[in-house]
Structure 1
């Protein structure tokens, strides 16, 4: 099981060097009606949900990290649309609510096995409101191969915080799994230093495999992009791969 139990404010500093929150927000909002409800699978420190709540979209976030969930709860803006955060794995979550948009970003779903992803997608279909969409940002095979580095040292600078990541990547060829082992070292403005161990495994999917999993779960893929500005998918090498899907017609009829 993955481990992300370090303070959420440290991840917020790291996140800004990897992700474009404004582009992500605009992309997700384009699939929402006014006041549409959202479900974030792998909500982390709540950045995406806070941004969407500020636009009037209430939502629910699921994350297996207790530390990240606690940060998201305290960082929520009481003046924005209502947002709830649940400390849980997505595979264990149950709800009677229906959502206009269910999304999972930053390769979160790569932390599932093929069997787990297949089952989760089937479950997600039942969480969608009529006309709702699913957005999946997944790490694909070429992304892993082209970006592979055995050892990484990266520094991330906040206003009064320096976070250093010491990372090691390894490959389990028979399981098609990337293991990422990290040490997080943080120094705050008063010179105090803290250190955390962090690791996660990622299943290596190909784009056709994810497409087939969506179709098998009862979705139709309506768009594929290579970034949150709705760029075309990458022809070669690494880069984001975004799937946008909705319930297939026969799945909608069955639900009705």
Structure 2
């Protein structure tokens, strides 16, 4: 289970501290033809889609957070549309040149939903289309584990203090993150938000196997959107690019 219901402008501030938007944009844009159709599953506040839309791509994003989708729609973006829906239940008759799910979205899915979601993605691809998945792998979780963390994020005169606690269910290979956000606005007003999310601990072989089962073949793997080497150890995500097999019966 996950819960991300707090104002989207705060997510944008925190996201800026975690992500390299320019590298993500270049990476994703290189995998779709000019003016191509792009789908972002777990789009958050639409940060990536706005950048891709500005480059002339036709974009659709889906996210489970009503607050984030509201922010994304208000922020606008040329050629970008949004749907408020969970990745597991999202359906669409359209076909896409690029489907991507990044920033750990894959880890948020219940394990039983992984294969159905990937099969759905396979069915949404146009011939020659690509899938990009970015997820946290086993060693990323192990190396990054801290029972309690405090972090500060600043932007547009806003100060966000994030108090987080991690707990582990080793039998289910699940990490639960419980967070409290303390937000001080530029006028001095303070608000508090509770946020939690569960993450399944995935491995490279597991995801490769799931992709193969639905007729998708991994063509390249990286350790980030600057095309770093995939991490053999230590912290960092895995970024996989997959394409549909030429002849698939799924």
TM-score clears 0.5: yes
1:66 equivalent in structure 2: 66
2:242 equivalent in structure 1: 245
Q: Give the alignment of 1:86-165 within 5 angstroms.
A: 86-165=83-162
Q: Give the alignment of 1:34-73 within 5 angstroms.
A: 34-73=34-73
Match of 1:205 among 202, 205, 210: 202
Structure number with the higher strand fraction is: 2
Check conservation: 2:88, 2:109, Cα contact below 8 A. Answer: no
What is the CA-CA distance between 1:114 and the residue it aligns to? 2.0
Match of 2:231 among 226, 231, 234: 234
**Total equivalences in the alignment:** 250
Match of 1:217 among 210, 214, 219: 214
Gapped runs of 5+ residues in structure 2?
none
Alpha-carbon distance in 2 for matches of 1:52, 1:97: 18
What is the CA-CA distance between 1:113 and the residue it aligns to? 2.0
1:185 equivalent in structure 2: 182
Alpha-carbon distance in 2 for matches of 1:249, 1:199: 40
What is the CA-CA distance between 1:159 and the residue it aligns to? 2.1
Q: What TM-score do the two structures reach when normalised by structure 2?
A: 0.98
Deviation readout 1:18-69 (Å, 9 max, x if unpaired): 0000000000001010001110010000000000000001111010000000
Q: Which runs of 4+ in 1 moved over 4 A?
A: none
Alpha-carbon distance in 1 for matches of 2:183, 2:176: 22
Coordinate RMSD, CA, aligned: 0.9
Deviation readout 1:114-170 (Å, 9 max, x if unpaired): 220111001110000111000000110000000000001000010210011000000
